[in-house]
Structure formats: structure tokens, C-alpha cells
Amino acid sequence: MATEERDRSERGTAGQDRGGAKADGEFVRAGNAFKDRITDEEGARWPVEPGRYRLVVSLACPWASRAVLVRRLLGLEDVISLAVTDPVQDERSWRFTLDPGDVDPVLGIAFLSEAYHAADPDYDGGISVPAVVDVPSGKVVTNDYPQITLDLSTQWTSYHRDGAPDLYPEHLRDEIDEVNEQVFRDVNNGVYRAGFASTQTAYDQAFQRLFRRLDELSERLGRQRYLVGDTVTEADVRLFTTLVRFDAVYHGHFKCNRHKLTEMPVLWAYARDLYQTPGFADTVNFDHIKRHYYQVHRDINPTGIVPLGPDLSAWRTPHRREELGGRPFGDGTPPPARTRGRLEA
């Protein structure tokens, strides 16, 4: 992902450094500063090691929610611990005010920025989630969100639960990568390009690309249950985390209002199918999602008022997607039910 000039005076876009705007008003997402990988290769600087790393997320963030969801589906909850930040960050970065004493109980820090500066004392860029932190040193290892989930699927296989799905099957990787690139450009990041556009032309272009891509995805998903192959893959994870936020945030807050998700029959059924698939819904927190976007983005929503809607009950209604065939976990099994309560582990 290309890194463009950033306006560091702006706070994050639901997890990622906000980036800046070109002269024509187009929003440009900033790149990721920490790109080390945790691998199972011999002699790796950051080796795969149960209990060593802590995944820091905001449940408001679609990029972070990918990692939470993949960790859940693969059964890595007892292998990589999870820290959940307050959905509303301040000028000091993401904060651990959901924890006793406002300090993360494992890392012993009050703000995620402390882990960034432990890794690089001179770092002056954005503080984003998801971030994987090395617990012994307290240093951020990576905030490279596209690679984090792929590595959870490919580097941590020795610690996947029995029956874990293959979210990045080798024979489908080229197709998954192609779909992911299109979905990122026009949908995942497309909603931000519309929401943070600073000229009418830039907004119009982002809006048109977004809904053109959604129409193409609707056509594709009208023929098959999942985006690639006949099981849930990384491609479905990446699209889901945007769709689940669409009506709650992007339709109104980001002016992506040609149609609501609930008015796009194929995508709405597809999103409900995934939401009702074990492991998906229990990583979604609509309260965190709405409070972050509406309270942090004061340039878009100056009053900070958080809307009460939409009605969420329809997420549990029948979708009939099973008629298209396919099985979410293939020959694997659903993740075990999670006890109710906070996600931290």
C-alpha cells in the first residue's frame, strides 16, 4: 500500500492513521510504519511463540476487527492474547480506559503510543490498530493489518484449533488476492475516500466507484455463497467488516447513501449469512463502532451526537444463502461458543 503525505494533526480513521488529501480533495490513506512479521521460520527475529504476543485492537475498527475475527475462527485465543481499547481515543492515542486503573493488565501501559515509542523512540507518525506487541519488550512488532491476518492463517498453523478452517487456501490465493485488492480499493477504503473527500469531485468519484464495485459483488454473490470457493476465506472476512458497519456508519456518516445495505438484497443476505456463522457476530460491537465514528470525527459530525439506529434485530433473520451450496468451514468445524462478556483474553 503506497504511503502518501499525511496530515498528522488528524486523528485515526477507525484504527488507521488518517492520512491526508491530495490537491484535488481525494483522501489518501497513510501506510503502515511497522511491518516486521512473526513467522515460523528458523532464526526468525520474531518467532511464532504462544503467549509472547498481544494483539491490540479497537472493536470499532474494521481493519482491527479482521484480526479479531481470524483469531477467533482459527482458535488462537489462548495463544495470542487480546487487548481492547476504548473506542474513543484522544490526542494521546488509543487508551486502555476499559481496564482497571486505565492500564492494560498485560502490557502495563495506559496508551498504545507507549508501545510504538518503545519500538522507536523517535516515531512521530500515527498510532493505529491493530497492532501486535511483543509482551517481554513492550515493543510494537507490526501494525501491517493486511499481513497480520494472512500470517495468522499461514504462520501459526501449529497452534490452530482442531477443525480450524483454511482461510487462505494455497490453490485459491491468487484469486483471493485479486478480490481483496479490488475490495480494498473500492469498498474497504472506498467508504473512507467518500467520507473524507474534501471536494465534490473527489466525493463523486469515490461514491461511484464504491457502488459500482458493490453492484459487481452483488452479481458475483448472486451465483455463489462465498466470494472465492465454497467456504469462508480471507476475502469474506475483509468484505464483512465493512458491510457490517455500512448502515450503522457509512451510509449516513460517510454519505455512502445510494442504498442502505438492507436495500441491496444479495449483499444484505450475504452479510446476514456471515453474521450468523459461528464466530462472526461475537466479534462485532455496534456500540463501539457508532461511538467511535460519530464522536471522534468531529469535522464530519461536530455535535458528537451518536444516532440511536439502525434497528439491529434484522441481522438474525433468515437469509436462505445455504441454497447456493457451500459450507462455511468446509471439512472443519465451527469455533466453540464463547462465553458472554468482554473479548479480552
Name the residues annotated as catalytic. Answer: 61, 192
Q: Which of 186, 195, 178 is nearest to 213 (CA)?
A: 186
Contact 192, 203 (CB under 8 A): no
Rounded (to 5) percent helix, strand, coil in the chain: 40, 10, 50
Q: Are strands 20-21 and 81-84 parallel, antiparallel or unpaired?
A: unpaired
156 is known to lie in a ligand binding site: no
CA–CA gap between residue 328 and residue 165 (Å, rounded): 8
CA–CA gap between residue 136 and residue 81 (Å, rounded): 13
Q: Which triple of cell numbers denotes residue 312?
A: 439491529
Phi–psi pair at 190, nearest 5 degrees: -60, -35
CA–CA gap between residue 136 and residue 146 (Å, rounded): 25
Phi–psi pair at 16, nearest 5 degrees: -105, 150
Torsion of CA 274, 275, 281, 286, to 10 degrees: 130
CA distances from 117 to 96, 180, 214 (A): 16, 31, 39
CA–CA gap between residue 290 and residue 15 (Å, rounded): 13
Residues annotated within the binding site are 94
State the binding site for glutathione: 94
